């Protein structure tokens, strides 16, 4: 969700302030050429501190509280599952808890050096531990358990406790694999009566061999990391204390970041994030292989990765970058993911890697007939723009084109879907919102120490004056939230979706650190992405933390999971400024009645009731962290989970009675492009199974039935004085 609003092209003053920093920093000259030169690290600390303090919207005070935050984030990042450090190590480290602010200002690396050297020592010792654990068979008949809530778990008091923790952690992973292998053997026997099922002892041995291979590979990755990699972890523990979206990119990470915002990805088409010791699917990229496969979903946890028919490698505890490396691969190759679904079930998913085409990041529309009326659905995956090419595609121009096409098709209402849209270009938000209002302010921008700037739609032309619904969810962020907020404040359309959107109300700029140093012998210093501005609704409120609250809230399977900006440590606060002068749209006299009708339908709909029940069950499952290491009890527990999950199968199997089709121009293109045809058919099929889209169309029905003439005059909103930020 760290989407940057590409506002830099308009932000010359802000960039100028940052660039002027280089005048001071050109005084620093380095002759470091070694890869792990401490002097280079000191320079990096000085550069980062200076650039963030001068360029950040609201730089944090570097004091003891700042120090405690660095300490907590850094230690958790080094050992999230508490399987390396002993309590005695933590006792030694804790002496520095209130000194890291002073060490930062003095460019003192003693704490980093201590923790780095100790971590290397403990990791080396852990290599011997896991090999010893796996050298003999597990006894799965003993009655013992393992708690995977690492955050609340204490650090091992001694080596004996550490060894036991490793044993139980490996045993749990092996038990899960063993049961999977047993099921596979049973399936082979069912399909072939002559097949000789492997004995328990053989499967148990294979499981331990597989576990050892996975851990050998994991520690092989660890050995590939150098001091610079671990120093980047320390640096990001510092930058995170300013806000969650201020990050340091080492040279390699910067390169990956540049690729990620180019709109072209190769792999399975999924965004990943770390969740304690696990890797979580945070988002599926529309049009990608994972999205097409319909088996992966946001919230799934990746447990193992296998290449084609190769042995699955356990990725629990593995660095995110290393997991990504395993999942990525050449187009046409197969990767098999063992995932833990959000309902607790385990599933192996095969995906053929492919190029995730940028075409699927573009806006697209569909037509649907309902109750004798025709409606248009526009899906916008991101607010894209090509700053280098004025004639290139951008979301503003494309949405205008889709609206025009739908008007010519004679639609009676439009649904604009920005679910899972993480944001993008701010200028395109103004263009899109302007399609639906006569003219007026769209968003307010504030930079540190400067007066607010209001971005206006100054075009009096209204492209669409009919019924409008904006669909959002908890993953709609940044630019999506600005659009939804503007439409809501004008009462131009109804916002329908999750209780609230993500809550990212900040703007970031990426600053190349190499520009500040004269000597090229330093090597590539990477870049810093720092928060430079906040944006506000036209009613004066920030979207930060609070996001945009839907006019109509629909039950959501993930409603109770902590996945928004408000759940991120050290997020910037919500505040408000003076509201702008704007006029409420007054062409829908039944606006409030449409909202009431929808709420009544949702409360009585059995499918929505099931989704709400499922959401509460998923939330309760997230609190269950203790797993039995007894094979019989483990199987019973898994069977109970799978049996319970069957109750919620109708959620996935749901189908509405609507048929979605492409506009004529696209139908012609589909006849010539098999790939495009497949993509659109999959999208239309997804729409026909989407209860949320169905309810959005019901709302259009309610708005349509009593639509009033656009000749009605808008109501003037007087500007109130609100507390300034």
Catalytic residue selected from 340, 382, 504, 529: 504
* 10 inside domain: no
Shared domain for 581 and 451, answered yes or no, is yes
pLDDT at residue 32, rounded to an integer: 36
* 277 inside domain: yes
Shared domain for 376 and 405, answered yes or no, is yes
Shared domain for 407 and 326, answered yes or no, is no
Catalytic residue selected from 478, 542, 598, 628: 478
pLDDT at residue 251, rounded to an integer: 76
pLDDT at residue 724, rounded to an integer: 27
**Domain limit, last residue, from 356, 380, 402:** 356
pLDDT at residue 389, rounded to an integer: 72
pLDDT at residue 490, rounded to an integer: 97
Catalytic residue selected from 101, 300, 417, 489: 489
Shared domain for 292 and 364, answered yes or no, is no
Active site residue 489: yes
* 449 inside domain: yes
Closest CA to 527 of 232, 115, 207: 232
Q: Which domain holds residue 470?
A: 360-507+536-618+654-716
Longest dimension (CA), the chain: 83
DSSP-assigned letters across all residues of 123-137: HHHHHHHHHHHTTS-
Shared domain for 483 and 442, answered yes or no, is yes
* 111 inside domain: yes
Active site residue 408: no
Backbone angles phi, psi at 227, to 5 degrees: -60, -35
Strands 373-379, 413-417: pairing is: parallel
Which residue intervals of 360-452 are DSSP H helices? 395-408, 426-433
SS (H, E, C) 227-278: HHHHHHHHHHHHHCCCCCCCEEECHHHHHHHHHHCCCCEEECCEEEEEECCE
Active site residue 29: no
pLDDT at residue 543, rounded to an integer: 96
Give the span between the Cα atoms of 440 and 458, in whole angstroms: 6
Query: pTM for this one?
Result: 0.77
Q: What is the CATH number of the domain that holds 425?
A: 3.90.226.10
Give the span between the Cα atoms of 605 and 608, in whole angstroms: 5
What's the structural domain count of the chain? Answer: 3
Give the span between the Cα atoms of 401 and 417, in whole angstroms: 16
Rounded average pLDDT per 10-residue block, the chain, 725 residues: 36 34 35 58 90 92 96 96 97 97 95 97 96 96 95 95 97 94 92 93 95 88 83 94 91 60 64 80 80 88 92 86 85 92 90 74 93 96 80 89 97 97 90 96 92 93 96 96 98 97 92 81 83 96 96 93 87 94 89 97 97 93 91 94 93 94 93 83 95 98 63 37 26
Shared domain for 351 and 367, answered yes or no, is no
Shared domain for 318 and 418, answered yes or no, is no
**Domain limit, last residue, from 301, 322, 356:** 356
* 25 inside domain: no
Give the span between the Cα atoms of 485 and 481, in whole angstroms: 6
* 394 inside domain: yes
Shared domain for 422 and 551, answered yes or no, is yes
pLDDT at residue 266, rounded to an integer: 66
Shared domain for 315 and 381, answered yes or no, is no
Q: Coil, strand, or helix at residue 442?
A: strand
Shared domain for 321 and 379, answered yes or no, is no
Shared domain for 139 and 222, answered yes or no, is yes
Q: What is the CATH number of the domain that holds 301?
A: 2.30.42.10
Task: Calculate helix-pair angle for 200-224, 110-133, nearest 10 degrees.
Answer: 160
SS (H, E, C) 503-530: CCCEEEEEEEHHHHCCCHHHCCCCEEEE
Shared domain for 220 and 305, answered yes or no, is no
* 8 inside domain: no
* 527 inside domain: no
Give the span between the Cα atoms of 215 and 224, in whole angstroms: 14
**Domain limit, last residue, from 292, 325, 356:** 356
Question: 115 Cβ partners below 8 Å, 6+ apart?
Answer: 74, 75, 78, 93
């Amino acid at each position: 969700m760290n989407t940057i609003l590409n506002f830099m092209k308009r932000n010359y003053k802000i960039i100028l302030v940052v660039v002027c920093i280089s005048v001071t920093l050109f005084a620093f000259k380095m002759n470091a050429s070694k890869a792990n030169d401490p002097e280079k690290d000191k320079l990096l600390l000085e550069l980062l501190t200076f650039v963030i303090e001068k360029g950040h919207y609201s730089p944090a005070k570097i004091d003891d509280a700042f120090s405690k935050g660095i300490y907590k984030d850094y230690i958790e990042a080094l050992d999230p599952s508490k399987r390396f450090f002993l309590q005695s190590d933590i006792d030694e480290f804790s002496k520095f808890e209130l000194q890291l602010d002073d060490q930062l200002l003095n460019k003192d690396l003693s704490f980093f050096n201590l923790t780095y050297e100790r971590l290397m020592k403990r990791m080396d010792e852990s290599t011997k531990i896991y090999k010893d654990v796996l050298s003999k068979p597990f006894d799965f008949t003993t009655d013992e358990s393992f708690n995977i809530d690492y955050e609340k778990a204490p650090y091992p008091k001694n080596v004996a406790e550490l060894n036991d923790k490793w044993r139980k952690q490996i045993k749990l992973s092996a038990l899960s694999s063993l049961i999977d292998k047993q099921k596979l053997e049973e399936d082979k026997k069912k399909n072939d009566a002559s097949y000789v099922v492997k004995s328990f002892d053989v499967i148990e041995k294979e499981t331990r061999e597989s576990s050892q291979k996975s851990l050998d590979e994991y520690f092989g990755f660890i050995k590939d990391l150098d001091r610079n990699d671990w120093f980047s972890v320390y640096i990001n523990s510092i930058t995170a204390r300013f806000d969650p979206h201020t990050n340091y990119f080492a040279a390699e990470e910067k390169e990956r970041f540049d690729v990620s915002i180019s709109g072209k990805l190769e792999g399975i088409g999924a965004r990943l994030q770390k969740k304690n010791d696990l890797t979580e699917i945070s988002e599926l990229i529309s049009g990608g292989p994972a999205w097409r496969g319909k088996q992966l979903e946001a919230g799934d946890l990746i447990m193992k990765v296998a290449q084609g028919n190769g042995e699955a490698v356990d990725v629990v505890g593995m660095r995110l970058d290393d997991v990504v490396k395993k999942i990525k691969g050449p187009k046409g190759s197969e990767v098999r993911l063992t995932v833990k679904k959000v309902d607790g079930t385990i599933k192996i998913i095969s995906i053929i890697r492919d190029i995730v085409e940028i075409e699927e990041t573009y806006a697209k529309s569909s037509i649907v007939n309902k109750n004798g009326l025709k409606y248009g659905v526009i899906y916008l995956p991101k607010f894209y723009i090509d700053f280098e090419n004025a004639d290139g595609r951008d979301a503003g121009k494309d949405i205008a084109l889709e609206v025009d096409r739908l008007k010519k098709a004679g639609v009676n209402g439009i649904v604009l879907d920005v679910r899972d849209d993480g944001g993008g270009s701010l200028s395109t938000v103004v263009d899109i919102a302007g399609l639906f209002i006569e003219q007026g302010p769209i968003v307010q921008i504030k930079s540190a120490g400067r007066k607010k700037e209001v971005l206006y739609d100054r075009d009096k032309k209204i492209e669409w004056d009919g019924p409008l619904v904006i669909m959002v969810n908890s993953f709609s962020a940044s630019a999506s939230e600005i659009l939804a907020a503007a439409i809501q404040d004008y009462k131009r359309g109804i916002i329908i979706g999750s209780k609230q959107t993500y809550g990212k109300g900040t703007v970031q700029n990426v600053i190349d650190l190499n520009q500040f140093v004269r000597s090229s012998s330093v090597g590539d210093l990477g870049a810093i992405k720092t928060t430079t501005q906040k944006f506000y609704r036209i009613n004066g409120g920030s979207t930060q933390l609070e996001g945009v609250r839907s006019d109509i809230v629909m039950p959501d399977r993930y409603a109770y999971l902590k996945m928004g900006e408000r759940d991120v440590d050290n997020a910037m606060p919500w505040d408000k400024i003076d509201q702008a002068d704007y006029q409420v749209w007054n062409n829908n006299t039944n606006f409030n009645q449409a909202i009431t009708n929808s709420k009544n339908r949702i409360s009585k709909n059995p499918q929505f009731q099931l989704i709400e029940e499922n959401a509460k069950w998923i939330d309760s499952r997230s609190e269950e962290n203790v797993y039995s290491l007894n094979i019989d009890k483990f199987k019973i527990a898994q069977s109970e989970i799978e049996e319970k999950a069957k109750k919620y199968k109708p959620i996935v199997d749901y189908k509405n009675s609507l048929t979605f089709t492409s506009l004529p121009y696209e139908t012609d293109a589909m006849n010539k492009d098999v790939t495009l045809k497949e993509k659109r058919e999959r999208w239309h099929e997804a729409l026909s199974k989407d209860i949320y889209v169905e309810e959005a169309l019901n709302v259009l029905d309610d708005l349509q039935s009593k639509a009033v003439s656009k000749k009605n005059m808008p109501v003037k909103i007087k500007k109130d004085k609100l507390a300034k930020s």
